[in-house]
């Protein structure tokens, strides 16, 4: 559960770090949005380093959680309710994340 929670926090900071520049560029927001965006992206990168497994495995598994968190963002921030197909896709991504992160491996693997 700790791994999943860490991935959720990581995804949140990545989305915020990308959303704020999007507001600036697409919605005529203030360039000051780039300051917290940079901080959010720095937090995103730092959070990725907290996982105890190989970076490639972390990046692959993180992608599955990112998809699910992005759909929560779609619902809560954009106000669009995800479709059943969105939810089915997110469930598949989360299943993939679980297989990647929690499969039994030999020591050092």
- Kindly state the average pLDDT of the residues 82-107: 93
pLDDT at 46 over 80: yes
Residue 9 placed within a domain:
yes
pLDDT at 107 over 90: no
Q: Provide the mean pLDDT of the chain.
A: 92
Distance, in Å, from the CA atom of 63 to the CA atom of 65, rounded to the nearest integer, reads: 5
Distance, in Å, from the CA atom of 48 to the CA atom of 11, rounded to the nearest integer, reads: 10
Residue 83 placed within a domain:
yes
Residue 107 placed within a domain:
no
Residue 15 placed within a domain:
yes
Residue 44 placed within a domain:
yes
pLDDT at 55 over 90: no
Residue 60 placed within a domain:
yes
Placement of tokens 């309710």 in the chain = 81
Q: How far, rounded to the nearest angstrom, does the alpha carbon of residue 38 sit from its chain's CA centroid?
A: 16
Q: Name the residue range of residue 11's domain.
A: 2-102
Count of the separate structural domains present in the chain: 1
Residue 108 placed within a domain:
no
Residue 90 placed within a domain:
yes
């Amino acid at each position: 559960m700790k791994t999943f929670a860490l991935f959720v926090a990581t995804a949140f900071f990545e989305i915020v770090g990308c959303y704020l520049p999007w507001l600036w560029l697409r919605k005529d927001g203030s360039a000051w949005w780039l300051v917290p965006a940079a901080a959010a992206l720095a937090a995103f990168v730092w959070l990725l380093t907290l996982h105890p497994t190989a970076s490639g495995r972390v990046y692959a598994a993180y992608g599955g959680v990112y998809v699910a968190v992005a759909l929560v963002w779609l619902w809560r921030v954009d106000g669009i309710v995800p479709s059943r197909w969105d939810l089915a896709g997110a469930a598949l991504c989360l299943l993939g994340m679980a297989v990647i992160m929690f499969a039994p491996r030999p020591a050092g693997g």
